[in-house]
Amino acid sequence: MLKRIILIVAFLSLAVQVVFSQGDKKLATPSEIQYKWHEQERIMFLCLDPCTWQGREYDNHSISLDKINPKSLDTDQWCETAQLWGAKEILFVAKHTGGFCWWQTKTTNYGIKDTPYKNGNGDVLKELSESCKKYGLSLGIYVYPGDETWGAGIGSGGKTKDPTKQEAYNKVFRTQLEETLVNYGEAIEVWFDGSCVIDVSDILEKYAKNSVIFQGPHATLRWPGTESGKLFYPVWNTVKSEDLNTGVSTQIHGDPNGDIWAPLETNTTLYDHFWFWSPKGEKNRKSLDELMECYYKSVGYGSVFLLNSTPNTTGLIPENDRKLYKAFGEEIDRRFKTPIASIDEEKGKIVVLDFSEKKKINHVVTMEDYRLGQRIRAYKIEGFIDGNWKELYSGQSVGRKKIDYFDEIEVSKIRLNVIKSVNEPVIRKLSAYYVEDFIAPPQRGLSPWSNWQDISTYDLKENSKIEVDLTGIIKIPGQFLVKVEPENSNAKIKISDVELIYDGRVVLDNFTTVKGNEININRTAQVTDESKITLRFHLKSKTGYQGKIQFKPALIY
């Protein structure tokens, strides 16, 4: 009789699960490799290039290769540095814009084999691959699609200035990408900075099935839209396919009802704002407080945090940088390694964490089982005080991890109260913390939009070309808006043939999009003191002959 009852209960439980699953709304979910990548939480970028010796951000081929000999280079030191702050992956710039290759390749005479390093037998990518295996770290590979030696400059995506060179360069880049993916172990991540116009779909299909892809037509990750290391809230891991397929979608395209999973990789420099080492860069090292702010507004919003490292001309990461990384890792552990209490694997809109007695808290961390999709759309964190529930925090998105903080308070239990969700919430972990001497990150009013500013005027005939000088106006990588505002508010205008010109070169079309009288600029390349940036477009209007050009950042921090 008991066995029969058990069987009936089991059958009814299964029936309820089936009915529930049939009633679920289909949500976009991460692939296995996206989930593995996301779980790393922290990644260390590693930028080393001839421009390190030049004291620049972009290699201009101004230094002889016989001067490049980082005799102390130690990839074990790089891995040990990553572990100081809990990074689980090193993303290595194996080739940057100048075309210098850090591995043994026959595709160019501009690489590590052409330097005195190890008498021309050095292979830094191989050394790093072996060190990553030794230290249990994942390896990501950045191979810039462009190449200055071929006239495929910054923002070109690999498109050569001279069309007669395109086919030859396509073969070179395809070979370079294949070499890095085949000869150095499996790469968890492949970076196409600023998209890629060269067809490498067959190579990725064959050799990067277990890799996430940053930018380009095969992208499975998104750039936030700034290099601040911070996101605006809420953060959604899904987008519409049409936006992801542009190859340069950002946080602005996040859509809780998007049909495809594409998480954000929130990147920033250690030196503000230099990707490559220089004495000047070292003087602009971020503070521990700034790094913690980035942590709260990247990892704490459910993203992955990508923090740069910059070996100097000796090949080593500077010791003062390592001290900061160590302090950063220790501070994260101090705050979040040991919770006051936590609960795992709970379903439903109400999850209660009972302390059994009053405890002082000022942080709650919620983790959603996002393998089932990002289900939570609005929630409250509440504390039980003297027989009543008091709201401590309210939010929208959770995703992998949401770190909430508030004024310290004594409570005997807390609860997660999900106000709105798509399908039943599944909570992976709910934890409470008390962080001593806590000073909240500054409230910067993070927003996807800011205010318009006038930057020029126009006076045209019925059909004219407009040229706007954005040099000194666009000062950092990011997303920006330019608006044509006719004096006649009823005037209808049409914008076409938009070109973004960087140092005399037209960049890829997909860096600019037009909507009505606005041009959205998605600018991923570093902006230096030497950068010249121009926007050129065709403007047609029958009545709006005069007006002004306005500008604003699309993402502001």
Band of pLDDT at residue 524, cut at 50, 70 and 90:
low
Residues β-bridged to residue 518: 483, 515
**Mean pLDDT throughout 205-226?**
96
We report the CATH number of the domain holding residue 279 as 3.20.20.80
Same domain for 531 and 412: no
We report the CATH number of the domain holding residue 421 as 2.60.120.260
**Mean pLDDT throughout 31-58?**
98
Q: Positive or negative, the Cα torsion across 224, 225, 227, 229?
A: negative
How many CB atoms within 10 Å of residue 505?
A: 17
Same domain for 464 and 412: no
Same domain for 284 and 396: no
Please say if the pLDDT value at position 194 is more than 50: yes
Reading across the β-sheet that carries 212-214, which strands appear in turn?
Answer: 212-214, 189-191, 138-143, 89-95, 42-46, 304-309, 265-268
Q: Which residue, 296, 312, 334, sits at the end of a domain?
A: 334
Does 10 reside within a domain? Answer: no
Does 94 reside within a domain? Answer: yes
Cβ neighbors of 388 (< 8 A, separation 6 or more) are none
Same domain for 289 and 424: no
Does 438 reside within a domain? Answer: no
Same domain for 376 and 329: no
pLDDT score recorded for residue 450: 75
Angle at 161 between CA 160 and CA 162, to 5 degrees: 90
pLDDT score recorded for residue 451: 86
Please say if the pLDDT value at position 27 is more than 70: yes
**What is the SS3 assignment for 237?**
coil
We report the CATH number of the domain holding residue 547 as 2.60.120
Burial 187-225 (b: 16+ CB within 10 A, else e): bbbbbbbbbbbbebeebbeebbeebbbbbbbbbbbbbbb
- Which region among 254-268, 408-422, 437-451 has the lowest average model confidence (pLDDT)? 437-451
| CA dist., res. 230 & res. 462, Å (int) | 44
Does 127 reside within a domain? Answer: yes
Band of pLDDT at residue 445, cut at 50, 70 and 90:
low
Token pair belonging to 362: 């000022």
Does 99 reside within a domain? Answer: yes
Cα 479 from chain centroid? 14
Band of pLDDT at residue 20, cut at 50, 70 and 90:
very low
pLDDT tens-digit readout, 289-303: 999 999 999 999 999
Same domain for 307 and 213: yes
Into how many domains does the chain fold?
Answer: 3
Does 11 reside within a domain? Answer: no
**Mean pLDDT throughout 499-527?**
86
Residues β-bridged to residue 287: none
Q: What is the pTM of this model?
A: 0.91
Average pLDDT, the chain: 92
Domain interval for residue 400: 341-433
pLDDT score recorded for residue 447: 66
| CA dist., res. 454 & res. 449, Å (int) | 16
Q: Positive or negative, the Cα torsion across 493, 495, 501, 504?
A: negative
Same domain for 300 and 195: yes
**Mean pLDDT throughout 303-311?**
98
Same domain for 86 and 41: yes
- Look at the block and give the residue holding tokens 């991540």: 189
pLDDT tens-digit readout, 58-67: 999 999 999 9
| Type of residue numbered 472 | G
**Mean pLDDT throughout 445-461?**
80
